[in-house]
């Protein structure tokens, strides 16, 4: 028996320590869900004729979680999985031209309304305070890769009777579809570059996120969270050679963690 007791005790000790480690890892993790209305806009960085026209109102929802990676409860790694709708409204303040039935059609003051839905995966470091007055405060800093899962573009021409959808059954189109080239402003028959705009958009987006919020214990491990997050895009949204813009938005977040 002595011959087998030592290995058996070692295996039992290993299993026990593994169980404790797994339990400790689980105790360091919190999961939950969040929702957040957002206000989005496009910051034009190149092309002074193009301008942001209005603030877009969108909405995000999805899962959230954090992991305490040290012995301190003040330092956590956070991650979200969100579906975010973030509209963009921009306006071309000059003239654009397009070939229509072998003629050149001129458009002025064209508004572009992008309805974009992203799958977002924000990854961030959460710095949390100790409890004060029943609340905990936190600051989030990280990055948010995003991938467009749907997109629609509707185009409106101000003060002109004609539209880019004239003679079609469309009211909007996918800007990246190969069939959408018939709605793009190609400069007319002479392909004048100053009257061209390619309405394609980037399918992937990367942004810096900075946020702050509060956490209020409800009962047991459950807590209510609320905060404000600035999502600052630093990749180009537009795919036109003459225009560049970065997609930004501010979110008001609320959620439950368990």
pLDDT tens digits, residue range 65-103?
Answer: 999 998 888 999 999 999 999 999 999 999 999 888 788
Which SS3 state, helix, strand or coil, does residue 174 take? Answer: coil
Q: ∠ CA 109-114-120 to the nearest 5 degrees?
A: 150
Q: Are 160 and 108 in contact (CB under 8 A)?
A: yes
Kindly tell me if the per-residue pLDDT of 6 is higher than 70: no
Report pLDDT digits (tens) over 10-29.
Answer: 554 554 444 434 445 546 89
In the predicted structure, residue 2 carries a pLDDT above the cut 60: no
How much is the pLDDT for 4?
A: 46
- Cβ neighbors of 41 (< 8 A, separation 6 or more) are 52, 55, 56, 88, 89, 248, 249
Q: How confident is the model at residue 233 (pLDDT cuts 50, 70, 90)?
A: very high
Domains of the chain: 30-257 (2.40.160.20)
Single pTM value for the model: 0.86
pLDDT score recorded for residue 18: 44
């Amino acid at each position: 028996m002595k011959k087998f007791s030592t290995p058996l005790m070692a295996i039992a000790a290993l299993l026990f320590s593994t169980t404790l480690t797994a339990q400790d890892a689980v105790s360091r993790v919190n999961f939950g869900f969040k929702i957040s209305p957002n206000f989005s806009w496009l910051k034009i960085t190149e092309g002074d004729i193009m301008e942001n026209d209005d603030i877009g109102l969108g909405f995000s929802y999805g899962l959230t979680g954090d992991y305490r990676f040290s012995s301190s409860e003040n330092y956590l790694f956070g991650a979200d999985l969100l579906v975010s709708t973030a509209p963009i409204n921009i306006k071309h303040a000059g003239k654009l031209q397009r070939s229509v039935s072998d003629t050149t059609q001129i458009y002025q003051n064209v508004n572009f309304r992008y309805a974009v839905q992203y799958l977002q995966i924000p990854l961030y470091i959460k710095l949390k305070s100790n409890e004060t007055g029943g609340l905990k405060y936190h600051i989030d800093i990280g990055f948010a890769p995003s991938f467009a899962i749907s997109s629609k573009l509707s185009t409106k021409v101000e003060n002109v009777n004609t539209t880019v959808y004239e003679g079609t059954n469309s009211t909007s189109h996918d800007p990246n579809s190969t069939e959408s080239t018939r709605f793009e402003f190609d400069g007319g028959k002479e392909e004048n570059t100053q009257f061209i705009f390619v309405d394609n958009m980037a399918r992937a987006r990367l942004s810096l996120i900075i946020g702050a919020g509060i956490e209020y214990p409800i009962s047991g491990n459950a807590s209510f969270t609320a905060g404000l997050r600035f999502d600052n895009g630093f990749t180009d949204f537009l795919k036109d050679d003459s225009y560049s813009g970065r997609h930004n938005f501010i979110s008001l977040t609320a959620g439950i963690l368990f």
